[in-house]
Structure 1
Amino acid sequence: MVLNNIEKLLEKYENGETSLKEEQQLRHYFSQETVPPHLEMYKPMFEYFLVNQEEQFTKDVPLTTKSNPIYKWISVAAVAVLMFGIYFQMSNTPKTIEDLSPNELMAYNQTVEALGLVSSQLSKGTENMLALNLMSSNFNKGTENMSYLEEFSSTTNKIFNTNN
């Protein structure tokens, strides 16, 4: 009878339907030396729960953080160094195309040429899209004409039905 009760409690435990008192009964049952062989697999788990329940955290948990003002000054100094570095880097860069070296000017011209080629190819693609847009507007006109045809057929049906 006890074994049937334990098996029912295990089934409830696996479904997450046990109360704390029922779980305590399971822990007590599996803490015994003799457990049926088909329930041996549950014994280590419930023994672990018994041991784990007795553990306590003994360290102090600090609730306030210690602020160190030196980190604030280090971060301010790092921002200042970055700002000076960016300023001096920007002041040394060439401002106009005339200030570029021959290699930089050649790279610039090649980039402009490549972007022009890409732009012309994209323009060809948009021409095809314009043709498709024109076909779409013609299709819309055709569907509007179909609605007139439907009105005409419903009117003729009324005429012919009234004469019958």
Structure 2
Amino acid sequence: MELDKIEILLENYFRGDTSVAEEIELKNYFSSLNVAQHLEQYKPIFGYFSLTKEQKIPLKSIKQNRMWLSIAASIVVLLGITTFTYVNYFNASQDQNLGTYHNPEIAFRETQRALSMLSSQVNVGIGSVQYIQEYNNSKNLIFK
């Protein structure tokens, strides 16, 4: 009778339908000496669970690891802030050449050249608008 009950519990265990009390009963059965021959293959599973439960993890090493991890994280944050500050403030002060001219004649020539280039690009755009205007006029003549 007990063997049938263990087999049913084992099937429920592998389906995930057992309660904690039933799992303790299975663990107690498989840790005893009188395990049925055809169920011997499941003995290491429940033996492993009881073995790992007895192992202790030293908490001191975890606390030390957290301490070193927090120190390392602080150093990384400080390096990041230092790098950001250096790149944005110290390099920005070195790039003060804003394209200004001290000689007014050179500034005038460069301004004329820039406005000429801008004018040529605007003229290309106006030519495209004239094509659209001609299209609209033709469309209005046809659909009136």
Answer 1 or 2: which has greater helix percent: 2
Q: TM-score with structure 2 length normalisation? A: 0.48
Q: TM-score with structure 1 length normalisation? A: 0.44
Larger RCO: Structure 1 or Structure 2 (Cα < 8 Å, ≥ 6 residues apart)? 2
